Amino acid sequence: MRFPLTLTRTMGTYLLKQRLRGKQHFPLVLMLEPLHACNLTCTGCGRIREYATTIKDKLTVEECLASVEECGAPIVSICGGEPLIYPWIGELTAEIIARKRHVYLCTNGMFIEQKLSEFKASPRLFFNVHLDGMEESHDLAVERKGVFDQAVAGIKAAKAEGHLVCTNTTIYKETNMHEIAVLFEYLTELGVDGFMLSPAYGYSAVQETNPTGAEEIFMTRDDITSKFREAKDLLARFKLNTSPIYLEFLRGERDLRCAAWANPTRNVMGWKGPCYLITDRHYETHRELVELTDWDALGQGNDPRCEHCMVHCGFEPAAVLGVNKRLGDSLKMALWQLS
Ligand code: SF4
């Protein structure tokens, strides 16, 4: 199976309930950012730039849990910043799991070994480690030597303790897709449970403030399509956690409409709107974010900021939820989950 049975079951029940209620905009994955501080300054990351003035602020555990309850999404992706430097990360994760949510702890992996004793292995918890290539390329992308080795040591330690581990790889203009196949081969040998892929997108927080010329590493839709076409056969043998429908979209074989409303972001400033990437304002409640955002005004052809965006957090939920559904999609998704 692609995901633990409990996750597939939770998602199935949740989606059915939302459909029976006739809800149009409902959350699937809460992107919870308890802090924006990080030990790295990765080229493709906008958070440490956009939130420079609040970089030392943190949500309390109580604020995080209130957001989990308020939003109601069955999956919580704890990100940031680097969540493993959040002082109460073990307690927060355990409390979210106790509320029957599934947690993806998105980390650069450098502190896994140090913090592992704070976590109990569970089918509801994945360590999601960011790796953009093999040692040389990854260390270049995160702008520090030794990060790849530390992340790999963390993955080995987590697997030895029985944890679920997946990885998240951003594909840049310069990414060599053959190297990604080598990376996935290596990670498969380490027992990694799945691989997520997303194209880099040069949204404003990175483009405007990154002195290293970030615009050179981000891709247009045409660039993305040709990268993912090249990867089709190369990566087919690996346990990708990226759905076949989202991959078809990335290869330019079909259209998908952005479903950013399904991936709301909560951070130290509030509920970030309209989406994980672009910020017009922060709302006090999740309900305000959903009700006050003009979702139809977003996406390609509607908002110039969305023109080349094909990111995971906007379009993977669209694939899961059957936005722009085609005949046979449900069967395709079911077979993929069972494979
Ligand atoms: S397409 Fe969706 S996820 Fe991408 S920038 Fe626009 S609103 Fe955000």
Q: Hey, which of 224, 256, 277 would you mutate to test ligand 1's pocket, going by the most ligand atoms within 8 Å of its Cβ?
A: 277
* Ligand 1 atom at minimum distance from 298 CA: 7
Short-list 35, 147, 49, 44, CA closest to 81: 35
Other Cβ atoms less than 10 A from the Cβ of 253: the count is 13
How many other CB atoms are there within 10 angstroms of residue 233's CB atom?
A: 9
Task: Please state, in angstroms and rounded to a whole number, the distance separating the CA atoms of residues 81 and 49.
Answer: 11
Q: Which CATH class for the 5-338 domain?
A: alpha beta
CA of 203 to the centre of ligand 1 (A): 9
pLDDT in tens, the chain (339 residues): 888 999 989 988 998 899 899 888 999 999 999 999 999 988 777 787 789 899 999 999 999 999 999 999 999 999 989 999 999 999 999 999 999 999 999 999 999 999 999 999 999 999 999 999 999 999 998 999 999 999 999 999 999 999 999 999 999 988 999 999 999 999 999 999 999 999 988 665 555 555 455 556 678 899 999 999 999 999 999 999 999 999 999 999 999 999 999 999 999 999 999 999 999 999 999 999 999 999 999 999 999 999 889 999 899 988 888 777 787 888 888 888 888
> Per-residue DSSP letters for 277-308?
S-EEEEESSHHHHHHHS-GGG-STTT-GGGTT
Residues in the ligand 1 pocket, defined by CB under 6 Å: 258, 260, 274-275, 277-278, 298-299, 305-306, 309, 311, 314
Q: Which atom of ligand 1 is nearest to the CA of 299?
A: 1
Asked if 317 and 231 touch (Cβ cutoff 8 Å), the reply is no
Q: What is the DSSP letter of 35?
A: B
The pTM is what?
A: 0.94
Residue-level pLDDT at 211: 47
Helix (H) and strand (E) counts in the chain: 14, 9
